[in-house]
Amino acid sequence: MKNKGILKGASRKEPMWEKSKLGEPFRKALDRFRIEVLERSDFDPTSLLQFGLFMAMAVLNILKEAETKLGTEGQKIVIDALIKTGYDMGNQILSNIEIPDDISDIELMSFLATIINTQAWTSIENPRIDNEQQCSFDIIWCPLQDAYKAFDCRVQRYLVQGIVNAFRDSGILKNDYQIEFKNTIPAGAETCLFIISKKKPGENDLWEEYSKKLEKKALKHDNLKNKKRINY
């Protein structure tokens, strides 16, 4: 894993990558961190992973408690908050964006995905532009893979939904896109594989459809647990 994929700040092989500039989310906090914390001799970067996992588990438990105690309405409240958070992240990624006039739409979509993966999720990504209609990527390592179970990853779906909504509303992309995952590390796969393809006219959004299925499954699971008087 040490020599595979890319992290934040790394280059991609596409010439357009070097000509493009995308926003850096939470820039003020990052600037302070670089100046006041990063260069300290006693700073251990694993502490950021511990903090991130702490916050991730908090969000997951908020969703579970809301579903258990408030049902559909509680679930919706948390999901709406996650989508809102993702939307803000998406707008920050697009802040002060600079892209070449001749960049293809699929290249731009792929580059945006790289920023999401390597910055918002601090993951190691192996990105590809498969053809003019499709790009894809493998997540080789994700900071949540040893803390989240496969079903827990649904939390990330709503953050992604918010980011994608921000991209759509901005008009930065000429096309709308389908996003699908094919396998995930928490489910036992070697990588998390995602496919992004141009959406056909009138086609339902597959990401949103699958999210709805998971929402129903979570509530059904809670109902069964409540009947057996078993807590999370």
Domains of the chain: 24-37+44-228 (3.30.1380.20)
pLDDT at 2: 76
Q: What is the pLDDT of residue 36?
A: 97
Q: Which residues of the chain have pLDDT under 50?
A: 227-230, 232
179 strand-pairing partners? 196
Check residue 96 and give its pLDDT: 87
Q: Give pLDDT tens digits for 34-66.
A: 999 999 999 999 999 999 999 999 999 999 999
Provide the pLDDT for residue 91.
97
Give the residues across from 129 on adjacent strands.
Answer: 135
- Residue pLDDT, tens place only, 142-171: 999 999 999 999 999 999 999 999 999 999
**Residues pairing with 6 in the sheet:** 125
The pLDDT value recorded for residue 223 is 60
- In terms of Cβ atoms closer than 10 Å to its own Cβ (0-12, 13-18, 19+), residue 209 is exposed
